[in-house]
Structure 1
């Protein structure tokens, strides 16, 4: 698959050949759903378990005699009604780390990339260097390139510093290095922007 390489001033800079095994995979909703669900579950942190009645280190001696004391018939000081007692119905530790086969994860990422290529919302940039790191300059460039409402920009090993500074004030632009490319962020964006370096890194990631 060939795609035109753009520059930030909307000028063409040749073509790039995209690997069909990465950018021309037919998307499947069930695979993408499994990967997104797995990714969101991995983000969740388990609650710290609270100490319940059996976990509190207090005496188990009966608080007082059963009858005649003029007070309630408590068994011990570990009851939830006492300060320092165990928590009643407290938070339990839960496992939010489901497993997913590496092949399915890789296939999901290929399908997410391919979905943008198929829809025509994939843009390949020659570089991301912004003069003086100005947000105003970047906004003008984005308007020329017809970026969507939500844009994900993926660079090579590290994001160009001038672009990262210029995009820092734009909540509609998300910037990631190639290593951070993931299915959820790609599908959530209206426009996917890759640099030449990002294309090389992603293709090497699957071929390696």
Structure 2
């Protein structure tokens, strides 16, 4: 599988062979769904918490006397049906993380990448490096490449100037190869890889 390499001006600078075991798989919705659920679950903090009757601040004293008030009888002010009382069956501190086999995670990442190839939304560039931090220059590049939603993936590290230049551009994000994940790939229309990223991915996923 061969694809053209272009520069930021949209001009062809060469070609690169892609490993079909990574870039040529048939995507499966069930695998991708499992990984997205796994990622989103693992990202949850689990710090939600409410106070029960025994934890909420307040006295255990009876709200008012049992008889001769004309009101319905009540017990403690901290009971769940009272304003300011405890909460019953509310959320508690918990770990939302779920397990997913490493083979499934690896397969899902390959399928997400392959889905961009199948859609015709994979672009290979020679490099993401920029000499200065300039958002206007990146906007011009995106216009040349006709990109309005894209995930750029660099090699082992990401060019600092490029990363800062895209910080204020909506729907444009960048990651080093080690940070590449299914959720971010699927959230963007286009996947833009550098030549170094392709080599690093083939080393990581082959």
C-alpha distance 65-29 of structure 1, shift in aligned 2 (>3 A): closer
Equivalent residue pairs, number = 204
Q: Which residue of 2 aligns with 1:87?
A: 86
The residue aligned with 1:48 is: 48
Q: Which moved more, 1:193-202 or 1:127-136?
A: 127-136
| Deviation for aligned residue 1:11 | 2.5
RMSD: 2.7
2:178 is matched with: 179
Give 2:18's aligned residue. 18
Which consecutive residues of structure 2, in runs of 5 or more, have no partner in the other structure? none
- 1:152 — aligned with what? 151
Give the superposition deviation at 1:156: 1.6
Give the corresponding residue for 2:99: 99
C-alpha distance in 2 between matches for 1:123 and 1:205 = 19
Aligned to 2:36: 36
* Change beyond 3 A, Cα 1:66–1:196: same
* Distance in 1 of aligned mates of 2:69 and 2:170: 66
Correspondence list, 1:57-136, <5 A: 74-76=74-76, 78-80=78-80, 81=82, 86-89=85-88, 91-93=90-92, 95-136=95-136
SS at match of 1:91: coil
The 2-side partners of 1:139 and 1:88 are apart by: 51
Q: Provide Cα deviations, 1:98-132, integer angstroms capped at 9, x if missing partner.
A: 22222111111100101111222111111112343
Work out whether residues 55 and 86 of structure 2, in 8 Å CA contact, stay in contact via their aligned partners in 1: no
Task: Give the distance between the partners of 1:159 and 1:98, measured in 2 at CA.
Answer: 30
CA contact (8 A) 2:4 2:14 kept: yes
- TM-score normalised according to structure 1 size: 0.82
Q: How big is the shift at 1:141? A: 1.9
Matched position secondary structure for 2:164: helix
Unaligned runs of 5+ in 1: none
- Write the distance in 2 (CA, Å) between the matches of 1:69 and 1:131: 81
